[in-house]
Amino acid sequence: MLSWVAIGARSSEDQEHRIHASAIDCPVGMKNPTHGSLKIGVNSIVAATNSHIAVFDGHAIETSGNPYAHLVLRGGNGKPNYSIEHIVEAHDLLNKAQVEHPAIMVDVSHDNCLVNGKKDYSLQPQIIFDILDSIKDKPELKKVIKGFMIESFLKSGNQNIDTAEVIDFGGLSITDPCISFEETEELLVKLSQRLANDN
């Protein structure tokens, strides 16, 4: 079974979360902060890959450092950051920081799917293919992009349970809007075919 941990944009700058990431023995994705700084996002990775002395449950412990901490690009400050320029910048910052296993995951939701300041969750599949197009002839970037994060659930969209007259208990998100199971299945099939053709 594959285990993976994510630390959100509002937590990745917090030293306690960085220390916890340093202590976990599975890959940890750390998002760039909500204001979008890639440098601070990479600082989180550097902190997580190094060991720390910390107090847990009244005991002083030393973390081992997590060599598989990686950056998650989620946009920031109301703007996307999945462009080739952003990916190159993140790649360069990871290399400059001498991260042993430089890796980037792209969250194609959140600020990365904003259009005129409004989130359009239906764009998530297209953003993935746009990124693949932008790195197609750049092997050093293809190597560092390890995957994509999408918001997916059983039904398309979301609901506000505070204002809904009838709550849908059959698989409609109560938080962020999601693409449906069928849309996710279609995306995965197309993505598999695209990656097979690219290799």
User: Are residues 84 and 108 in contact, defined by beta-carbon separation less than 8 angstroms?
Assistant: no
- In the chain, the amino acid numbered 98 is Q
Query: What percent of the chain lies above the pLDDT cut of 70?
Result: 99
Contact yes or no for 68/28 (Cβ under 8 A)? yes
Q: How far is CA 136 from the centre of its chain?
A: 20
pLDDT confidence of residue 5:
94
* Pairing status of strand 69-73 against strand 118-119: unpaired
Report the predicted TM-score, pTM, of the whole model to 2 decimal places: 0.92
pLDDT tens-digit map of 53-98 = 988 888 999 999 999 999 999 999 999 999 999 999 999 999 999 9
Tokens of 178: 């999601």
| CB neighbourhood size of 126 (10 A) | 13
3-state secondary structure of 21: helix
| pLDDT for 198 | 82
Phi and psi, residue 26, nearest 5°: -140, 165
What would the pLDDT profile of 32-63 be if each residue is shown by its tens digit? 999 999 999 999 999 999 999 988 888 999 99
Rounded CA-CA distance 4/24 in Å is 10
Q: Which two tokens stand for residue 20?
A: 């916890």
Q: Going along 126-187, which residue ranges are E strands? A: 145-149
pLDDT of residue 117 exceeding 90, the answer is no
Tell me the fold of 5-150: TIM Barrel (3.20.20)
CB 158 within 8 A of CB 174: yes
pLDDT (0 to 100) of residue 55 = 85
Tell me the one-letter amino acid at 31: K
Q: What is the pLDDT of residues 134-162, one digit of tens each?
A: 999 999 999 999 999 999 999 999 999 99
**In 85-144, which ranges are E strands?**
104-107, 114-115, 118-119
Domain ranges of the chain: 5-150, 156-199
CA gap 22, 177 in Å, rounded: 31
